[in-house]
Chains A and B, each alone.
Chain A
Amino acid sequence: MTKSILLVGVGGQGTILASKLLTIGLVEAGYDVKMGEIHGMSQRGGSVSSQVRYGEKVYSPVIELGSADILVAFEKMEALRWLEYLKPEGKAIVNDYQINPMPVLNGKFDYPDKINEALEALVDTKVFNAAEKAEALGNAKVMNIILLGALIKAMKLTHIDWNQIISNHVKEKFVEINIKAFQIGMDSIQS
């Protein structure tokens, strides 16, 4: 049975590195894997998504509406934007982190309030602040690896040696902090 993982966020948040590590791990574990992303103008602060699908045999790299098993939102409003891609019985992992888009920055729109509550009422949701945890570790950028850890735990993919994958694919001086970040992410999800 093919599983679909949707990672969403804002350009520059590191969704691409997280989905790259995820994909490498899945391939090494012997799954057929397809990963899709759209880049282009979205790099300029726009909404971004990475789609990872794995199973015995995967055809399409594209996740269709209502078919993602899990939605990992690196920014909370993006969780709402992409929610229709999630199965009604799927899971959402949401970074309790806000990045204001231009229409909010310039005061034309208000950033929606009570997003976490809205999500929790709709779907099996786990909200936590990966940004804060990353800063506590000393590097705000490892937020993406914390979210990856949470995703791995939630998708029950813990049998793969993620520490090894991080060691092999992250710059040497960042390996230690990324492994710590990954563990923090895993610990934030109850099995």
Chain B
Amino acid sequence: MKKLLSGNEAIARGVYEAGVTVASAYPGTPSTEILENIATYTEDIYAEWASNEKVALETAIGASVVGSRAIASMKHVGLNVAADPFFTYAYMGVNGGLVVVTADEPGMHSSQNEQDNRHYARHAKVPMFEPANSQEAKDMIVEAYEVSEKYDAPVLFRITTRVAHSKDIVELGSRKGPVYKKYEKNIKKNVPVPAYSRLMRDKVETRMIALADYAHHSPLNFEEIFNTEIGIVASGMCYTYAKEVFGEEVSYFKVGFSYPLPLEKIKQFSEKVRRVIVIEENDPIMELEMKAFGISCEGYDLFPYQGEKTPDVIRRSLLGETLPTINYTQEKIVPRPPTLCAGCPHRGFFYELGKRKNLLMVGDIGCYALAFAEPYNAMDVSLCMGGAFSMGHGAAKSINMNKDSNMKVVSFMGDSTFFHTGINSLTNVAYNRSNTVNVILDNRITGMTGHQENPGSGYTVQGMPVKAIEIEPIVRALGFEHVRTIDPNQLEDVKQALDWALGLDEPSVIITRWPCVLKKFSKEDKEEFEGLFQNKCKIDPEICIGCKKCIKTGCPALSFNKETKKAVINPNDCVGCKVCLQTCPVKAISLEVK
């Protein structure tokens, strides 16, 4: 049977076919749909959203130890979080096969960096696969479990955004399994104390030699000889891009199993062509290893050092030309940056926060990172998941040491980010006592990645109702004495809470609690939040004085008409959050109750 699948859907299918029984992940673009699709196999696979990537990998490892085939999937930066268990389980080796999917982002479509996670395979000394399309993604997952178990190693499965999110036709197979290996107590394998780790270290090196042999013989690494002038070495999506540009005008060495590299086989290929060009996104990893092995090749110097190696980039870099395009001026095209949605519960908070002076505003990863932009200007710095409270803490400690500064610090992150690693950074604030204001923007869901459940939302990915973990009792248990939970749509409450918290000389926590406007509201949401986005606001043009105060809320349902010099609300977009209504000095905005 054939089906049109994205790379992420194909991975989920491959996981099903391979007989996997346990899957854990934390959402992150472009990896999110892997776990979402695995979760649809409710009868065959236990799937969960973990609180973070480290926890996801440890969950998968636990399942592998007792004999299940298991998977943990994450975006590239997620593997930084999960690096600790990743490196040591690489020593221990598996019982049931273990695959770790890393979804890298050349071009940074939705990410904070462009790190190349192929380095992790080398760093941890584990085998790696790199599919170039959905069919390969599915087939290679099945093979990855065979390799994992045969060579006693977790496998790194590296995809990029275009593999994850492109759809093509996949021939489906049937499910093997479920696969369970027998669990036997084995201290020397499963307890990495130094004495045993030294033994494991030897095993890792022997394993790499065996894997190099696998790489050499694997049909996933193959050559296609057409023309002997140029030979291209490429893995993943770069291979398809090159094929698109050159077709059968050049020869190819396609790398599918990419660590250890089949260097001897590539060397044989290189001897058949006059010039070898390596096309790889991000870092020149294959190129440098090939050069060290004595293969004469080019690559990094021919291409831009960052971004995707899409067909136009390859054409420009290697042929010095582009396809003819329509000539026109782009000057008049207005940028269309992402914005906080109409009704976004973050709006009220940032509208008030952005007005404050002499503040360091420390943000985090989520929709609320848009606070940096106009009109809020309410974020000075952000870094990584869960980092806001600890960075703010460090900044406050520096400011306290510095007699020339009296800046205050407000740090903020979302609910899912709090459960991810923010809980750890808030623990440090509580323990080491920084006089920071720590804000948890609880919109009752994981928003930016497309509404995944989290420990605070009350449901699991497979739809099981669970007790929602309440943030305020956690914060109080950490020892915070100054805690307030507010409705962020009430501007006066936000203002008062900020005044109160900034007036303290001790750590404080403000929790804003209102659901994301795009969320599918649960029964509990409907009970708790009265009049949830059921109304609309309108502006009376007779009363409006054109002061633009409402426009400063940055709501995409509001616009300013330059001809009439009045503000207007688009009734199709407005959901009646009333934030703009509270900013109007002449009460021109009113609520229309449905």
Contacts and interface: CB of A to CB of B under 8 A. Distances in A.
Contact of A107 (B241, B244, B560): B560
Interface in B262-310: 308, 310
A138 interface: no
Given A33-B4, A64-B323, A66-B323, A105 B340 contact: no
Contact of B370 (A36, A44, A61, A66): A44
Contacts of B30: 39-40
A134 interface: no
A83 B554 contact: no
Contacts of B558: 105
A102 to B, nearest CB: 5
A67 B341 CA distance: 34
A30 B217 CA distance: 34
For chain A, the bracket of interface size reads 35 or more
A113 to B, nearest CB: 9
Given A27-B4, A66-B325, A105-B558, A112 B169 contact: no
The B contact surface, by secondary structure, is loop
Given A44-B340, A45-B336, A66 B551 contact: no
A65 B322 contact: yes
Contacts of B490: none
A174 interface: no
B243 A59 contact: yes
B9 to A, nearest CB: 12
A38 interface: yes
A120 B341 CA distance: 33
Contacts of A60: 237, 240-241, 243-244, 310-311
Interface string A81-121: 10111111000000000001111111111111000001000
The A contact surface, by secondary structure, is mixed
B334 A77 contact: yes
Nearest to A62: B310
A5 interface: no
B326 A83 contact: yes
Nearest to B132: A59
A61 B166 contact: yes
A101 B333 CA distance: 10
Contact of A38 (B165, B335, B562, B572): B165
A27 to B, nearest CB: 5
Contact of A102 (B168, B315, B556): B556
Interface string B492-508: 00000000000000000
Given A23-B4, A64-B312, A101 B337 contact: yes
A150 to B, nearest CB: 20
Contacts of A58: 168
B554 A36 contact: no
Contacts of B560: 105-107
B318 interface: no
A41 interface: yes
Contact of A46 (B237, B337, B375): B337
Nearest to A35: B167
A101 B240 contact: no
Contacts of B375: 106
Given A27-B169, A77-B333, A101-B335, A106 B244 contact: no
B340 A37 contact: no
A40 B325 contact: no
Contacts of A59: 240-241, 243-244
A122 interface: yes
14 contacts: A23-B4, A41-B448, A46-B336, A60-B240, A61-B168, A62-B244, A64-B244, A65-B312, A65-B325, A66-B312, A77-B334, A100-B559, A106-B554, A110-B562
Given A46-B337, A87-B324, A105-B551, 8 more contacts: A10-B336, A27-B169, A33-B169, A38-B109, A64-B311, A100-B559, A104-B334, A106-B559
Interface of A: 10-11, 23-24, 27, 32-47, 58-62, 64-67, 77-78, 80-81, 83-88, 100-112, 118, 122-123, 140
Interface of B: 2, 4, 29-30, 109-110, 133, 161-162, 165-169, 237, 240-241, 243-244, 308, 310-312, 315, 322-328, 330, 332-341, 367, 370, 374-375, 448, 450, 548, 551, 554, 556, 558-560, 562, 572
